[in-house]
Amino acid sequence: MAQFNEMYQGTAVRAPYARLQDWVAAMPQELRSLKQAEAEALFRRIGITFAVYGEGGDPDRLIPFDMFPRVFSGAEWARLEKGIKQRARALNAFLVDVYGRGEIIRAGRIPGQLVWQNEAYEKAVVGFVPPKGVYSHIVGIDIVRTGPDEFYVLEDNCRTPSGVSYMLESREIMMRMFPGLFRENRIEPVDGYSEKLRRTLASVAPKKCKGDPVVVILTPGHFNSAYYEHSLLADLMGVELVEGQDLFVDGEFVYMRTTEGPRRVDVIYRRIDDAFLDPLCFRPDSMLGVPGLMDVYRSGGVTICSAPGAGVADDKAVYTYVPEMVRFYLGEEPILKNVPTWQCGRAEDLAYVLDHLPDLVVKEVHGSGGYGMLVGPKSSREEVERFRAKLIEDPGNYIAQPTLALSTVPTFVEEGLAPRHVDLRPYCLVGERIELVPGGLTRVALKEGSLVVNSSQRGGVKDTWVLAE
């Protein structure tokens, strides 16, 4: 499989990477090792670590950072940006529709069963239109590249996509360590993200809110793997970071306990799952949420971001229909392509998948984090056969996709620079306006040849540059 190297075409260097060529050439091995150690120390000092559930080991393990940046030209980004915003608009239109009249189902463009019997479809919010008609306020879209102009969406994350702190910190550290690079290259800044996020959240304040909206971030607590990110975003936005027990419902509103007494809360950027939000509506044993929250939400006393129920749009089976959503709601052709996907729940698809298992990537419909998946070409025959048994037992739980020839970006390894596979997660903000900072999180599979970039599977991160035109 021919792999697209984002820096080199043969021996020629692609334009966006031109100046990095000299930078690497001018950096002796000793300096590189020194800088790598410095980067790690910086990450350690700011405390950005990534704990992974169920993996054991060091919960404060550092996520590996690679100093070699990933670069997009302004023109490349402009096209990506259009595609990302288009997709975020369509996903939100879909959510408003399926909790309303369900026109796309009536029109026969998506099977009702996929939506209505989906675990992520929340009956409790049927008939409710959140402020500004937005269900998913932060849409994280995972994109891979296979050629100069070939981009594919791997999956959408409409609930609470994490990782934006790595985008911000990677940039911060690169600027600190290599200020020269930022003088020589005209790199679009990403530090506007937190202000844009704050503006987005404030723009969806509920009708009952008069005056300047009070925004909080609701975290499950410090044991959560993304806690660092929750506190960083709260800091950057200048809003309170709260846990469920810091909030309470009184009458028609939600309040937070402060040293100066209760303070009304208008917008909750929650980083906990729907099931834990409110024991009076969802899981009755949840200690993380706020009892009575959903009653306040449904009557317009508070806004919850992302809106409960948003998860039905990023289900891996629903994913197949996102291009259809773009056509149906926007009347446009999708700019970003989907990866061709087989639904193992369909008999003819399953037959194909079983016949081609060693060539395919198979994922759980509700899985995330790179767990419970099969990468056919990278698996032993036994692994494939073990997976085949699981697949036959519960085919509806799986989708399959061809193994894509993911693009590579030069990455520092023991022996020097070597190509490693990357993906990209930009964070699209949807409120009164749709905004996207030029950049995102580039994840890199540090293991040679590996296609799995998840941080839970030995993936690292890179700074992502968008060059000003």
Partner 1 sequence: MRLTVDHVTRYSYDHPVRSVVQSHRLTPSVFAGQQVIDWEITVSEGTKGSTHRDGAGDQVQGWTIAGPVSAVEVRVRGTVDTTDLAGVLRGHRETVAPEVYLRTTAPTRADVALESLARTVGDSDLLSLAHSLSTLVSEAIAYRPGVTHAHTTAAEALALGEGVCRDHAHALIAMARVRGIAARYVSGYLFAAQDGTPHEAAHAWAELHVPGLGWIGFDPANRCCPDDRYIRLGSGFDAQDAAPIRGVARGGAREAMDVTVAVLQAAQ
Nearer to partner 1, 291 or 402 (CB): 291
Exactly one of 233, 234, 281, 325 binds partner 1 (CB under 8 A); which one?
281
Q: Does 296 bind partner 1 (CB under 8 A)?
A: yes
Interface with partner 1: number of residues (CB under 8 A): 34
23 or 116: CB nearest partner 1: 116
285: exposed, middle or buried (Cβ count in 10 Å: 0-12, 13-18, 19+)? exposed
Residue 75 interacts with partner 1 (CB under 8 A): yes or no? no
Strands 408-413 and 374-375: unpaired
How far apart CA 407 and CA 409 sit, in angstroms, is 7
- Considering beta carbons, is residue 131 or 460 the nearer one to partner 1? 131
Closest CB 216 distance from partner 1, rounded Å = 18
Q: How far is the CB of 250 from partner 1 (least distance, A)?
A: 5
Residue count of the chain = 469
User: What would the x/- binding string for partner 1 be over residues 85 to 104, using CB under 8 A?
Assistant: --------------xx-x--
Q: What mask of x and - would describe binding to partner 1 in positions 129 to 168, judged by CB under 8 A?
A: ----------------------------------------
Binding to partner 1, residues 359-378 (CB under 8 A): none
Which of these, 437, 435, 46, 40, lies nearest to 231 by C-alpha position?
Answer: 46
Q: Hunting for tokens 């494939």 — which residue is that?
A: 384
Dig out the tokens for 38 from the structure: 């410095």
Using the contact rule CB under 8 A, the part of the chain among 59-67, 167-175, 246-254, 442-450 near partner 1 is: 246-254
Is residue 292 near partner 1 by the rule CB under 8 A?
A: yes
Among 8, 82, 196, 291, binds partner 1 (CB under 8 A): 291
Q: Is 319 exposed, middle or buried (0-12, 13-18, 19+ CB in 10 A)?
A: buried
Cα–Cα dist 238/270, whole Å: 16
**Shortest Cβ distance from residue 97 to partner 1 (Å)?**
12
Site residues for partner 1, window 108-127 (CB under 8 A)?
Answer: 112-113, 116-117, 119, 121, 123-127
Give 265-313 as a DSSP string: E-EEEE-S-GGGT-TTTS-TT-SSS-TTHHHHHHTTS-EEESPTTGGGG
Contacts of residue 443, defined as CB under 8 A and 6 or more positions apart, other chains included, come to 163, 422, 423, 424, 425, 453, 454, 455, 459, 460, 461, 462
Shortest distance in whole angstroms from residue 462 CB to partner 1: 42
- In whole angstroms, what is the distance from residue 72 CA to residue 368 CA? 27
Judge whether 202 and 305 are in contact, CB under 8 Å.
no
- Binding of residue 301 to partner 1 (CB under 8 A): yes
Minimum CB separation from partner 1 for residue 398, in Å?
A: 19
- Tracing tokens 């031109």 back to the chain, one arrives at 18
* C-alpha distances out from residue 431 to 4, 76, 442, Å: 36, 25, 24
Between 288 and 362, whose beta carbon lies closer to partner 1? 288
Angle, vertex CA 73, rays to CA 322 and CA 186, nearest 5: 130
* Identity of the amino acid at 237: M
Q: In which residue are the tokens 């964070």 written? A: 427
**If binding is defined by CB under 8 A, does position 295 make contact with partner 1?**
yes
| Of residues 102 and 323, the one with the C-beta less far from partner 1 | 102
Q: Which is nearer to partner 1, 125 or 268 (CB)?
A: 125
**152 contacts: CB under 8 Å, gap ≥ 6:** 143, 144, 145, 146, 336, 337, 338, 339, 404
Nearest CB to partner 1, comparing residues 125 and 313: 125
Q: Which is nearer to partner 1, 272 or 404 (CB)?
A: 272
Nearer to partner 1, 80 or 288 (CB): 288
**Cβ-proximal residues to 115 (8 Å cutoff; 6+ apart), any chain:** 98, 102, 105, 121, 312, 318
The CB-of-397 to partner 1 minimum distance in angstroms stands at 15
Going residue by residue from 189 to 228, which x/- string records binding to partner 1, judged by CB under 8 A? ----------------------------------------
Q: Mapping DSSP to helix (H, G, I), strand (E, B) and coil, where does residue 99 land?
A: coil
Q: Does 258 bind partner 1 (CB under 8 A)?
A: no
Q: What angle do CA 38, 6, 326 make, to 5 degrees?
A: 110
The mark string for 31-60 relative to partner 1 (x by CB under 8 A, - otherwise) is ------------------------------
Q: Which is nearer to partner 1, 310 or 434 (CB)?
A: 310
Interface residues toward partner 1, by CB under 8 A: 99-100, 102, 105, 112-113, 116-117, 119, 121, 123-128, 248-252, 279-281, 284, 291-292, 294-296, 298-301
